[in-house]
Every structure is written in structure tokens, then in C-alpha cells.
Amino acid sequence: MEIVDRLRTLRLVPVVSLPSVEAGLRLSELLLGCRLNVIEITYRTECAGEAIEQICSRFPELIVIAGTVLSPEQVDQAVAAGVKGSVSPGFTPRLAAHCRQHDIGFFPGVCTPSEVQAAREEGLHHLKFFPASLSGGIKMIDLFKTLYPDVRFMPTGGISQENLDQYLDCANVLCCGGTWLSPEGMLAKGKWDEIEQRLKRAVDLLDRRD
């Protein structure tokens, strides 16, 4: 699937809870300026739906992923807006079945062997590992490698500039996600310089790895 290939190349997904649509538009420009052409917009704030619609239509070069997706209705709305993927904090067969009807990537959250196997049985081999740091972090990802060599993970939850390199070193990590690049509080206060610095530091790290 194309989205998986893109994430494998990009290696990092900024996860955002947007305080306003305007903040989302400004952040999208910054991301593109930093060559980080992907954003996961979580359905954790009221403006998420509208932000997803506007960002998809104004920035077609940005890969928009819907995050914290909990219901089929959210999937339908996000797909209609033009997202390329959806991410859920947990795994449910109902949501997996619904996403299968659409031509988008679905990355459900898992953190135990049973959850990995349940998702795998639904044909899903690219999973969000969440909450990564609270669920064993890199040690758990290494263990999953021996148990499920055909599964790749997107760890989120506790990823930061300090540990990003170590997570990306894991052969079974597809890409990492996190909110540290543009936390909601910083977006709300318009701390654009700080956000840009964080984005650049992360992109520098990715460039050094290439």
C-alpha cells in the first residue's frame, strides 16, 4: 500500500491535537517547509473534522492521516475529506472491517501479543505500538520482532527527540509518531519559532540517518 511506503520513507509522523483550524493551516505550511510532508490530526479536539477537510483540500502534497479514530463515522468523514490513512489508539474488529471497505491505510493501536495477533488475523501487518514507553518500549518491540517477524510497528506515546534514533534503529519499526514536535499548548500559544526549531531538529536527525 502506498501510504506504508511513504511512511517507511518519511520515518516520522507529527501527531497533533489542534486548538484551531488556523493553527493547523499554519503548521501544515511549516511541515512542508521542513520537508516533513505528513501530519496525523487527532479527533481529540472539536475542530479536528474541519481541520482535516481544510488541510486536505489546501495542501494536497501533505499526507493527512486521521488520528484517535474511534468510530466508523469518523472514518467516513476523514475519507470523504481525502485522508490517506487512519490511526486508532486501540484495535477493534469492527473498525478494522469498516476501514477495509475504504482504500486507506488503517493503523490500529496495540501493546500486547494478543492484540497483535487479533490485528494480524484481520490481515493487518502495520500497527501502531501504543502507548510505546508505557508498554515496554524498545524491549517490547524487540520481543515482537521474534514473535511476529511479518509485522511492522509505528511506536507512539513517549517518543521524543532524545529517543527517536533508538526507536528508528529497530528493524521492525516502520516509522515513529509523536506530539513533542508541536504540542497542543504550543500551538495554542502560537509558539511557531519553537515548533519550527523542533521540526528542524527532528529532520536533521532523519537526514543524518540517511
Active-site positions read: 40, 128
Choose, by CB under 6 A, the member of 178, 182, 187, 198 that binds ligand 3PG: 178
Q: How many residues bind ligand 3PG (CB under 6 A)?
A: 13
180 binds ligand 3PG (CB under 6 A): yes
Exposed, middle or buried by CB within 10 Å (0-12, 13-18, 19+), for 24? buried
179 binds ligand 3PG (CB under 6 A): yes
14 binds ligand 3PG (CB under 6 A): no
**53-88: burial string, b at 16+ Cβ within 10 Å, e else:** bbbbeebeebbbbbbbbeeeebbebbbebebbbbbb
Choose, by CB under 6 A, the member of 24, 49, 108, 177 that binds ligand 3PG: 177
Coil, strand or helix: which one is 24?
helix
Torsion of CA 194, 128, 169, 104, to 10 degrees: -90
74 binds ligand 3PG (CB under 6 A): no
- Residues 92 and 142: their CA atoms lie apart, in Å, by 24
Q: Per CB under 6 A, which of residues 118..147 are in contact with ligand 3PG?
A: 130
- Nearer residue to ligand 3PG within complex by CB, 180 or 192: 180
State the residues that interact with ligand 3PG by CB under 6 A: 15, 42, 67-68, 130, 156-159, 177-180
